[in-house]
């Protein structure tokens, strides 16, 4: 096996991976060019392994280069690296710290790293909470999240002083593999804001992806709007309230691709509240850059509330969400950053509909959402009698995918004609060549494409193989 092949990927998910990663780290420190092949509160314990003086000196220098400046944190990182993975089981309290220390150093000696996947790396109190605790005479003890600190430093320091992570383009957030916290077949609670804040300011970051999540009960402070360098956001098989999606969309400086799909998991806590009006309004901030939009959510939407003007008002009340950015914790967390940010308001066309996404090329939606968002939202919504989907789709659309439409189906809400979808799609096919000349590919009209859906009535004793074989049709996978 060539060295290039050998050092292309590192995995740190299980305790057994730690010994392999430590061996790789020592090899990289002996031969620094190997690091270029990666293109793709701890208590000090007695050391369990010893290194030759030259190897330990290399390790100590690598710890300093990784940005661990203080003598105490240097001592902790070195000490945990001198623990033996062979003496650790899955519940050993040292294992997470060893994994984080190894990850931090492997990343710091891999300047060409382009792709990174990682599980939750720890959540800390907000800056405001720390200041209040200190003012009350009870300062909070610092945590030892070594990998998180590396990412924090890379986000906040110039690349000249920390020459790593400047080539990182793709990040995938992984859910916690410890299924004792929540059954494997359910959506997993996840601090999305916290993970976004760890990578959003990296200079080359292009895309972030996460699967199988739902919002946590105690999220981190949301990222500021127009502050993130990523332009592609993929959230699949997940169950997230639309206010989290809106803040995630708004965080990007320029958004080119956005994908959100439910399904592929079960839920013991109900479904998140997806409000299409709010999501579309957030997307209009990026109307000039968005080229790909995929929303597979219709199976869990409260369609009756969305289509009924009176009931819809209850869903649209976002007064509490709008106050979040005036909260002292938010202002304190991003005080320095907010001074340099210019928050742009959406220049929403009239009407605010899919037609206003002028650069969109690829669109995937459920049939009801396609009808609803094409009609427009707000006061400028087009009257049903004069409305035609073909007249309100993005002018540069090249490909359209429709979820959940079966030939001859009737809408699942009252007030729409029983044959409205049939008539609308027939008109689309008849007039697309003249009104949408770039549209060359449509799927989901002649053959049904099932909506992604949350798993139902799974037995806790059911194996993954049994569940997956029985529910393949319920979720669309990338």
Q: Which two tokens stand for residue 89?
A: 């089981």
The Cα–Cα gap between 83 and 294 comes to 46
The Cα–Cα gap between 77 and 95 comes to 13
Going from the first residue of the chain to its last (478 residues), give the mean pLDDT of each consecutive group of 10, the final group possibly shorter: 48 54 54 42 87 90 90 92 87 86 90 90 87 86 88 76 85 80 82 96 96 91 95 96 95 98 83 87 95 95 80 62 78 87 52 89 97 84 81 97 95 86 96 97 96 71 52 43
Task: Indicate the helix (H) or strand (E) that contains 426.
Answer: helix 420-435
What distances in angstroms separate CA 315 from CA 217, 275, 303, one per listed residue? 20, 7, 11
Residue 41 forms part of a structural domain: yes
Are 203 and 157 in contact by the 8 Å Cβ rule? The answer is no
Output the pLDDT for position 428. 97
Residue 349 forms part of a structural domain: no
Residues 6+ apart with CB under 8 A from 33: none
Output the pLDDT for position 346. 47
Residues 6+ apart with CB under 8 A from 187: 212, 213, 214, 238, 239, 265, 266, 267
Beta pairing partners, 252:
228
Residue among 348, 6, 38 at smallest CA distance from 165? 38
Residue 212 forms part of a structural domain: no
What distances in angstroms separate CA 241 from CA 5, 377, 464, one per listed residue? 41, 19, 27
Residue 421 forms part of a structural domain: no
Residues 6+ apart with CB under 8 A from 353: 373, 374, 375, 376, 377, 380, 382, 392
Residue 120 forms part of a structural domain: yes
The Cα–Cα gap between 124 and 220 comes to 8
Q: Which two tokens stand for residue 330?
A: 């938010």
Residue 452 forms part of a structural domain: no
Are 289 and 359 in contact by the 8 Å Cβ rule? The answer is yes
Residue 44 forms part of a structural domain: yes
Longest Cα–Cα distance in the chain: 82
Output the pLDDT for position 143. 85
Output the pLDDT for position 35. 44
Residue 234 is classified by DSSP as E
Number of structural domains (the chain) is: 1
Q: Which two tokens stand for residue 36?
A: 């270029």
Backbone angles phi, psi at 186, to 5 degrees: -100, 155
Q: How far does Cα 31 stand from its chain's mean position?
A: 35
Residue 235 forms part of a structural domain: no
Are 389 and 430 in contact by the 8 Å Cβ rule? The answer is no
The Cα–Cα gap between 151 and 158 comes to 13
Output the pLDDT for position 320. 52
Output the pLDDT for position 178. 66
Instruction: Count Cβ atoms within 10 A of the Cβ of residue 197 and give its class: 0-12 exposed, 13-18 middle, 19 or more buried.
Output: buried
Residues 6+ apart with CB under 8 A from 104: 66, 77, 146, 147, 149, 150
Residue among 475, 451, 474, 456 at smallest CA distance from 301? 451
Output the pLDDT for position 76. 92
Backbone angles phi, psi at 403, to 5 degrees: -90, 140
Q: What is the CA radius of gyration of the chain?
A: 25
Domain range holding 141?
1-168
Output the pLDDT for position 250. 96
């Amino acid at each position: 096996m060539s060295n290039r092949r050998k050092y292309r990927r590192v995995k740190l998910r299980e305790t057994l991976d730690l010994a392999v990663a430590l061996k790789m780290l020592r090899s990289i420190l002996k031969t620094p060019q190997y690091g270029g092949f990666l293109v793709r509160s701890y208590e000090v314990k007695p050391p369990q392994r010893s290194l030759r003086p030259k190897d330990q000196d290399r390790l100590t220098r690598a710890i300093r280069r990784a940005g661990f400046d203080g003598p105490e944190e240097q001592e902790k990182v070195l000490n945990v690296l001198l623990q033996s993975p062979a003496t650790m089981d899955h519940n050993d309290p040292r294992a997470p710290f060893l994994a984080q220390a190894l990850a931090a150093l492997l990343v710091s000696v891999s300047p060409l790293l382009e792709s990174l996947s990682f599980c939750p790396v720890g959540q800390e109190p907000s800056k405001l909470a720390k200041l209040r605790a200190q003012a009350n005479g009870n300062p909070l003890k610092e945590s030892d999240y070594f990998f998180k600190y590396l990412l924090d430093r890379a986000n906040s320091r110039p690349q000249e002083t920390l020459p790593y992570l400047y080539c990182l383009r793709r990040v995938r957030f992984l859910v916690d593999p410890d299924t004792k916290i929540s059954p494997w077949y359910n959506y997993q609670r996840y601090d999305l804001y916290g993970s976004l804040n760890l990578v959003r300011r990296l200079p080359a970051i292009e895309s972030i992806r996460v699967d199988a999540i739902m919002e946590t009960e105690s999220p981190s402070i949301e990222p500021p709007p127009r502050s993130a360098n990523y332009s592609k956001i993929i959230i699949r098989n997940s169950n997230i309230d639309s206010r989290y999606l809106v803040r995630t969309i708004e965080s990007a400086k320029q958004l080119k691709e956005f994908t959100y799909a439910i399904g592929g998991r079960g839920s013991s806590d109900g479904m998140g509240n997806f409000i299409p009006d709010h999501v579309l309004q957030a997307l209009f901030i990026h109307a000039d850059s968005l080229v790909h939009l995929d929303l597979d959510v219709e199976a869990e939407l409260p369609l009756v509330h969305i289509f009924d003007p009176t009931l819809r008002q209850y869903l649209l009340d976002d007064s509490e969400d709008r106050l979040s950015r005036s909260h002292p914790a938010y202002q304190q967390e991003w005080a320095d950053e907010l001074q340099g940010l210019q928050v742009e308001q959406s220049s929403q066309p009239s009407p605010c509909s899919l037609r206003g996404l002028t650069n969109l090329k690829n669109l995937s939606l459920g049939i009801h959402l396609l009808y609803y968002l094409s009609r427009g939202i707000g006061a400028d919504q087009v009257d049903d009698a004069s409305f035609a989907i073909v007249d309100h789709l993005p002018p540069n659309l090249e490909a359209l995918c429709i979820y959940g439409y079966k030939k001859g189906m009737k809408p699942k809400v009252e007030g729409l004609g029983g044959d409205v979808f049939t008539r609308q799609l027939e008109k689309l096919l008849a007039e697309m060549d003249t009104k949408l000349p770039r549209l060359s590919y449509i799927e989901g009209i002649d053959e049904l494409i099932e909506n992604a859906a949350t798993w139902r009535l799974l037995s806790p004793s059911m194996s993954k193989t049994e569940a997956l074989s029985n529910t393949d049709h319920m979720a669309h996978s990338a």
